Structure 1
Amino acid sequence: MTDWQPTGKQLINKIYGLSWRFAMLALFVVCAVLESLLELTREQWVDLSVAVLVYIVPATFFQQWLQRRTMGRVPDYCDARHAGTVASGLCREAFAAVIDLPRRSAILAIGGWLVPVFVMSLYMDFRWEYFGLFQYLSVWLAGLVAGVVASMFTMYQLKRLLAPIRRMLAEEISDPQERAQLIHSLSLGTKLVTGVVGIAVIPVVFAVLFFQAEAGRTLEAFVVDWEHKLLEATGDQLDQTVDLERVMGDAPGLAAQVRITLLDLSEGAESPLEEFVMAFLRRQIEQLDREAGDSLSVPSGRYFAWRRHGDSVLLASMPSDVVHVDQTRMGFAFAAVLVITLLAAYWLARMMAGDVSEATSWLQAEAARMASGDLRKGRVFESEDELGSLARSFETMAHSLRAAVGSMARTADRVEVTSVEMVQVAQAVSGVTSDQVQGIEQTSALMEQINGQVRGIANSAQALNVSVEESSSSILELGAAGEELNETATVLNEKVNEVSSSIEQMARSVKHVSENTEGLAEAADETSASMGEMATSMREVDVSAEETARLSRLVVDAAESGQVKMVQTIGGMDAIREATETAEQVIRSLGSRASEIGTIVDVIDDVADETNLLALNAAIIAAQAGDQGRAFSVVADEIKDLADRVRVSTNEIGSLIRAVQDESENAIGAIEEGSQSVAYGVDLAAAAGSSLEEITRASRESGQRIAGIVSAVREQAKAANHVVELMESVRGGVEEIRMASLEQDRGNEVVYRSSVAMKDVAQQMRSTTEEQARGSGRIRESAESVREAVEQINGALQEQTAACRSAVEFLEAMHARTETNEDAVKRLDRVAEDLIRQAEQLREDVQSFQI
C-alpha cells in the first residue's frame, strides 16, 4: 500500500467499498443484538426486513452523497497528480480534507446508524401492538453498538488507506507551520477517552439488558406455567359451578393478582390490550385449531394463558408490572452500576489519557523550547513504556544538538579572530605592493630609453647587414643556381637515359599487355558463354526439381490416401472376419439343431412303426370280428395309411436333415477357409498399411529434401545469372583495356622519339652548366668574407637588443604580477571583511541558543 497512487474514481470506489463492508458488519451486529434481547416473531422479522429494504435505497444515495462531500478535494488531487498538473491551492485543500476524512467518516458512520435505529423504533412502535421502554432501549443499543463498530473500523482503515496520499501531500507542503494551520487537531486523550468509555459502557449496557431480558423470559415462563395450572383448576371447578367470581374468591395469595376471564370471542373487547389478546386468540383457535396457549410466543404487556372451555375461552392474565416490581428495583441497581461503570471508565480513560498527554505535552514543550533556541537541560520525563523511550531519545538528541551548537560557537569565535588577522595582513601587503608597483614603473621607463638607443644602432647595422646579405645572397643564389643547374643537368641526363629505357620497356610491356588482353577477351567470351549455358541448365534443373517436388507431394498425398483406405480396408476385413465367425457359429448351431430334428424324426418314425403295428393288429382283430369289426377295419386301414405316409415323410425329412447337415459341414469348412483367408488378408493389409506408412514418411522426407534442392538450385541459378552479368562487365573492361593498350602503344612511339631528342639537348646543357658553376664559385668566396664581418657586428647588436628586451619584458611581467597581487590583496581584504561579517552573524545566531 506504500506505493498506492489511485485516480480520483479509484479512491472514491475504494472508500465506498470500505463503507459498505463495515455497514454490512454493523447490520449483522444490529441483528445479533435484537435477536439476543428481543423475542421477535417471524412476522415481525419479515416486517422489519421489508422496512429496512425500503429505507436502505434512499439512505444509500444520501450516505454516498455525504461520503463524497467528506472527501473534499482529495479525488481532484489524485486526478491532477496523474495528469501532472497539481496546483498549490489544490494541495492545501486536499491535505486539510485527507487529514480530517477519517474523523468525519467516523462521525458519519455513528450518525448513519443512530438515525436509522431511531426511525426503526418509531416504526416498530407504530406497526406492532406492543413496544415498550425495554424494546426502545434494545433497539437504540443495537444502533449504538453498530455505529461504534462501523465508526472505529472505518476510521482506522481509512487512516491506513489514505496514508500514502497523506504522505505525498505532506511532501508537497514542506512547511510544518502551514500544515499545522490546515489540520483540525484531535488529541490522543480525546481518542483514548472515547474509545475506553465506549468499549466499557456498551458491554455493560448490553449485559444489563440481556440479563433483564433473560430474567423476564424466565419469570414469564414461570408465571405462564402457574397460570396454566390455575386455569386447569378453575376449569375443573367451573364444571361443578358456573359462578366464576366465587371460584376466584376462593383463590389464595398471588392468585388474587391474576384476572381470570371467560371470553366469548364473538363479542367486542373493552380495551385495546384485550382487543389485541382476543385477535391473537381468534388466530390461534380458528386458524391453528389449538386448545390452549400462552403469551410466550407473542410480546405483550401482560402474562396470560388460555384454554378452551366449551364454546368460550378461559383466559388468565396478569399485568407484567405486578411481577416486575422487584425487577424495577433491580433496574435502578443496574442503572447505578452503569453510572459507576461509566464514571470509572471515564476516570480510568482520563488517567491513561493524562499519562499519554503528559508525555506528549513534555515532548511538545521541549521541542518548542529547543526551536526557540533554549538548548539548556530542561525538565526530565521518565516512563517505563514507549513514551519513556521516546523521551530518552529526545534527550539524547538535545544533548547532541547542544554539543554541536557549542562547537559552532567556538568555531565562530576562531573564524572571527582569523578574519581580523587576515584583514591586517592584507592591508600590510597592499601597502608594500603599491610601493613595488611605483619602483617597477620607474625602472621600466629607464629601460625603455636604453632600449631605444640600442634599437637605433641595431637599425643601422641591420641596414648594412641587409645590403651585404642581399649581395651575398645573390652570389650564393647564383652559385647555388649554377651548381643546382649542373646537378640538374646531370640528373636530367641520367633521367633522360632512364626514361628512354623505361619508355622502351613500357612499349614492350604494352605490346605484351595488348597480346594478353586479346587472350583475356577470348577467355572472358568463353566463360560468359559457359556461364550462360550453366544458367540455362540451372533454370531447366529448377523446373525439373519443381516438377519433382510436385510429383513428390502427389506421391505423399496418394500414399496418405492409400494409408487411409488401407486402414478402412483392414476395418472392413475385420468386420468380415467377425461376420464369418458369427455365420460359422450360426451354421454350427443349425447343424446341432438339425441333429436334434433328426432325433425327433427318428422318434416319429418309431411312433409310425408302432402305429403301423397297432393298425395291423386292429385289422386282424377286425377280421376276426367279422361284420361287426368292419368299421374298425376301415379305421385301422386309415391309420395304417397314415402311418405309412408318416414314415415316408419322416424318411424325406431325414434325407433333408442329412443333406442340411452335409451342406452345413461344407459351409463350415468354406467359412473356416474364408476366415483363414480373411485373417491372412488382414495381416497382409496391416503389412501393406505399414509399408504405405513407410512410403508416406519416405515420400514426405523426399519432398522436404527435393524442396531443399529446389531452393539450392534457385540460389545457384541466381548466382549463375549474377556471374554471367559479371562476365559481361569483365568482357567490356577487357575490351576497353585492349583499346587503351593500342592507344598507349601509339603514344609510346611518339614519346620514344621525343626522348631521344631530349637526351641530346641534356648533354649540351650539362657542359654549359659546368662552366657557369666554376665562375660562381669564385664570386661566392669573395662575398663570404664581407658577410662574415657584417654578421659579427649585427650579432653583437642583436644580443644587446635581446638583453634590453628581456629586461623590459621581465619588468612588465613583474609589473603585471604586482598589479595582480594588488588586486588579489584587495579581494582578500573584501573576503576577510565579508568573513568577519559572517562570523559576527554566526556568533549572533549561536548566541541565540542557550546552552
Structure 2
Amino acid sequence: MNFFNQMKLQWKLVSAFGLILLVTIGSMTFTITRLISLASQVDITGKLIEKYGQRSDTLYYAVQWGYPALREGQSITTYIMSDDPDEQSSLFEKFGKAGKEFKRINKLVKESATTPDELKRIEKLEALEKKFQAEAINIITIRDGEGEYGPETREEVNNFNKVESEFIKAIEEFVEFEKNYMEENQQESNAVISTVNAAASKAITITIFISFLAIVIGVLISLVLARVISKPIHAVVALAKKIAAGDLTQKAEVLSSDEMGEMAQSFNDMIERLGGMVKNIQEASTKISTISDQTAVAATELNSGAESIESASSSIEEMNSAIGEIARGTSDLTKQASDASSSIIEIVASIEDIADISEGLSSTVDQSSSSITEMASSISEITGHASQLSLYATETASSVSQIDATIREVENSIKISAELSEANASDAEAGGETVKMTIQSMEKIQETVQNTAMAIKILGEKSLAIGDIINLIVEIAEEINLLSLNASIIAAQSGEHGKGFAIVASHIKQLSKKTKGYTTEIGGLIKPVQIEVAKAVESMESGASNVEEGVKLSRLAGEALDKMLLSAKSTMDMLEHISRASTEQLRGSKQANESMEKTTQMLTQVYKAIEKQNMGNEYITKATEEMKDAARQVKDTTKKQSQEGEKVQLTIEEITGVTRIIDKATQEQAKGSTQLLKAMEETKSITAGNMSTVKDMKKFAEVLGNQVEALEKAVSTFKVSS
C-alpha cells in the first residue's frame, strides 16, 4: 500500500487499467479455449454424422444389389422350366443389362465404404457375383438343340442354385452387417451429441459467470481507484473553503507522493506565505495609523489660521457676486417683462380665437345631440319590430316542427306497410324458391331413379356376364387340374430330379381344386343377386313414373307462387315510391325547420344587438348632453380668460417700468463692489498657497485613515498561528 501511495497518479490509472485489462483478457482467453474445445467436439460430431450418412448410402446400395440377383435367379428358373429355346437370346440380353447394373451398384458400394472389413466383404460379394454370372451363362448355353436338358446337366443346375443361395446369403449378411454398424454409429453419435450439448451448456454457464466476475472486479477496482483519487481532492477542497473563510491555521495532510500529495504540500506552503503576509500587513497598518493621526493634527492647526482669512475674502466675494447676480437679474427681469408683455398680447388674441371656436363647437354639439336623439328613437322602433319578428319566427318554427312530426308519422306508417309487403314478398319468394328447389330435387330424383334403373340393368347384365366368366374359370380349373396331373406323372418319371417339379405340380393341383370350389360358391351367390336385380329394375321403373307425376305437380305450384310474387313485388314497388316521396318531403321539412331555427337564432342575435345598440345610444345621448354642458362651460371660461388677459397685460407693462429703474441702481452698486473685490484678492492670494497645502494634507490623512481601517478589517478576518 505504501508503494501504491508513492506512485504518480498517471501510473495509478495505468496500473488500474492494466489490472482490468488482465482480468478481461483472462476471461476472454478462458472463453475462447472453451469455444475451441467445443468446436472440436462439434467437428467430431459432424464427422460421425457424415460417416453415418455414408453408411446409410452403403446400406441403400447393398439392398439394391440383391434385386438383380433375385431377378436373374427367377429368370433362370423360368428358363429351365420352359420348353421354348427361343428365350435364350432374350435371356442373354437381360443378363447383359443385369451385369451393367451389378457394376454400377458395385462402384457405388465401393465409393461409400469406409472400413477395411467392408472392402473385404465387398470383394467377396464381387467374387460370388462373378461366379453367379458364370454359372447362369453356363446354364443358358448348355441346353441342346432340341430345347431340353439332358440328365448330365442336373449337376450344373444344382451348382447354380447353390451359388445363387450363397450370393443372396452373402448380400443379406452384408446388409445385416451395415445395419448393425449403423446402429452402433447412431448410438455413438447420440452419446457424442449429448456430451457436446452438456459441454456447450457448461461452457455458456462458466462464460457468463466469468464475465460477471470480471465486471464485478472491474467495478471494484474503479471504485477503489475513484476513492483513492477523490479522497485527497475532497480534503483539499475542504481546506480551500476554510482558507477562503480566513482560517490560516489549518494544514493539509500529505498522504502520498503523487500529484495529490504535491498539491496538498503546495497548499501548506501557500498557507504559510499568506500567514506571513497577513502579519506584515497588520504591523504596517499599525504604523500607518499613527502617522495619519499626526498628519491630521498638523492639518487642523494650519486650517485654523487660513479659515479666518478665507472667511473675510469669501464674505466680500459673496457680496460682490450677489450684487452681480442682482444686476443680471434686474436686466433679465426687464427682458422677461417685455417678452411677457408680448406673450400676454398673443395669449389674449388666442383666447379670443378660442372663444369664437367654442361658440361654433356649442352649435355643432346641439345639432349632434338632436341627430342622436332622433337615431335613438328610430332604434327603439327597430327593437320593437325585431321582437315581433322573433315571435313570428318562433311560431313559424313550431308549425314547421308539427309538420315535420306529421310527416315522420306518415313515413313510419309507410315503412311498416313496406316492411309487411316486403315480408309477404320475401315469403312468396321463399316459397317460390322452395318450390323451385322441390322441382329441381324431384328432377334430380327422377334422374337418379333413371340412372339407378340403368345401373341395375347394367348390373343384371354384368351378373349374367359374371356367370359366364365363372363357368369359364371352372373349365380353366379343370384343365389346370389335368395339367398338374400330367406334371406329377412327368416328375415321377424324372426321379429325384423331378421331386421339386412334383411339389410344384401338387400345389398347382390344390390351387385348381380351390379355384373350382370358390367359383362354384360365387355362382351360387350370384344367382339370387340376378333375381333381386330383376325385381329392383321393376320397382325403379314404377318409382320413376311416380316421380314424373310429382314433378308436374311441383311445376304447377311454382307457377302459382310466381304470380303471387309478381303481385307482391308490384305492391312493394308502389310503397317504395310513396316512401321515397315521404322521405324527400321529410328532408324538405327538416331543411325548412333548420332554416327557421337558424332564422330564429339570427333574429334573437339581431334583437340582442339592437338592445345593446339602444343601450349604447342612451350612453351616447347622455354623453352629448355632457358635451353640450362642457361646450357651454368652455365658452364662458374663454370669455373670462379674455377679460383677465387684458388686465394682466396692463400689470406687465407697469412691472416693466419698475424693473428698468432697478437695473440702473444695481449697475452702479456693482461697480463699487468690484473695486472692493480687487483689494481682497491680493490678501487671498497670500493665504491660497497655505490653504491648498493644508487641504491636501487633510485629504491625504483622511484617505490614509480610511485605507488603514479597511485593511485592519480585512486582516482581522484571518486567523494566523502564533
Shorter-chain TM-score bucket reads: 0.3 to 0.5
TM (normalized to structure 1)? Answer: 0.31
Larger Rg, first or second structure (1 or 2): 2
TM (normalized to structure 2)? Answer: 0.36
Q: Between Structure 1 and Structure 2, which shows a larger proportion of helix residues?
A: 2
